[in-house]
Amino acid sequence: MRSGGATAVILSRRLGAVSLLVLLLIAAAAEGSKSGSGDGKAHNYEEALRKSLLYFEAQRSGRLPHGQRVPWRDHSGLTDGLEQGVDLVGGYYDAGDHVKFGLPMAFTVTMLSWSMIEYGDDVAAAGELAHALEAIKWGTDYFIKAHTQPDELWAEVGDGDTDHYCWQRPEDMTTSRQAYKVDRDHPGSDVAGETAAAMAAASMVFRKSNPHYAHLLLHHAQQLFEFADGYRGQYDSSIAEVKSYYASVSGYKDELLWAALWLHRATGKAAYLDYVVHNAHDFGGTGWAITEFSWDVKYAGVQILAARLLLRGEHTAEQKRTLERYQAKAEHYVCACLGRNAAGGEDANVERSPGGMLYIRQWNNMQYVTNAAFLLSTYADYLAEAGVETVTCAGGETAGAGEVAALARAQVDYVLGTNPRGVSYLVGYGAKYPARVHHRAASIVPYKHSKQFIGCSQGFDHWYGRRSSNPNVLVGAIVGGPDRSDRFRDNRENYMQTEACTYNTAPMVGMFAKLNRMAREEREQRAATAAEM
């Protein structure tokens, strides 16, 4: 599974005064995306945004609403939690199977919310605000249900082992729907912390449009953080079943720092920032120099959020030195992606494929690409807001803020088809994209077309091994992607490359929205320049 996420006119509200070098580097990246895309044209980021949000509707569990836009899905998991006497209907299937794993689901919602916090105006300008809010709320509604007591959170529904033995549509599920929880006696600081982060971030998204709901989310977030911090432990020690699928390799301390930063941003309460500063060393926040960011490893995100506070001057004199240490680690991550940590040791930089893709590991590498693009983009924005034009790398090297933004855009364009194979790894976008995604529902005839029951092994017998394309296009999904040599085999059985996950696509909602705005401004600038000639 996934053990293992012309001129660029950015003279608007985010960037302020930017050097000519910044503009030239971003413009160069834009030109590169045009020449590298399969049809020779610039990428249509608005289309990519629209399709990315559609994907979350395909991943819905529970009773689907009347406005459901993915016609080949129907109601599923309607008895989830029944055996335990709790309503756990809803939420998301994280990938191509039907287990509801709480940790990656919460990270998905955190990244969707962060996308909206940074680039929500751009999402709205593209006409996708309502769909983005629906995508977040589908997750947070479920978290509210799953948080049944202040110190109790249901963290998984379904059994990974039995689920993987079957190839069925979610509407036909015959596999176990056992539910697993963390509580005082069986702690899970990582999953509780990430869920707190998700609900705190989401509360900021709904603050204007639905203040009552935002308040409710913040209440749950604060309770979950207190639970996560007060009863510390890894959730995979309390829920042994999850170890084969979403083991918490990084432990729970990164999630505690992550949740505290999001609660500080949502509430402005000094106690949460004090927590991040006080625990900086013991929790690894200023000790770990990280080169990846994912549903499991949050340190790079923690460090960039902390650096934002430093850049904005939102700290006391006593907190400044610790925040500077956080920023140094944040810039190690940024420089690692740029390949600029010259004196940082053998593993100080992120490997690149010949086509320029950031490469971390073979299993679902695209999650690291999309999450890196988002972190790089937001950090470039934070630097520009503060009027800072360079980052400092190991060995005394420096890199321009424009280079950081350009790399973020290059990674997005790689996903959309600016790569040696000319393949879009965003399903449904472009002329060439994966047709045999490792996904049970997409690979079987739609339930609405054929309600004939498909048993556990029948799906393997009749659908899994077919060489033909999936009958349903999983629009907006971002698959695991190519290997370190840009090679990709479009085969349903090649799940390391063809399975898609919600946390691959979530950060791209913000990226597509931002790049769509930038592309529009570039077009307007070119038109204005042409009119003056």
Residues annotated as catalytic (active site), given as ranges: 438
DSSP bridge pairs for 62 = 76
Nearest Cα to Cα of residue 272 among 260, 280, 282:
260
* Helix 299-312 and helix 270-278, axial crossing angle in degrees, nearest 10: 120
Cα dihedral: 105, 141, 134, 513 (round 10): -40
32-49 CB burial, b ≥16 within 10 A, e <16: bbeebbbeeebbbbbbbb
User: What's the longest Cα–Cα distance across the chain?
Assistant: 73
The DSSP bridge partners found for residue 182 are 153
Report residue 295 as tokens.
């549903």
Both tokens of 388, joined, read 């800072």
Per the listing, tokens 């045999």 go with: 436
CA pair distance 120, 87, nearest whole angstrom: 31
Handedness of CA 259, 262, 266, 272 (dihedral sign): positive
Distances (CA, A) of 339 to 291, 351, 382: 11, 8, 21
Interatomic CA distance for residues 415 and 419, integer angstroms: 8
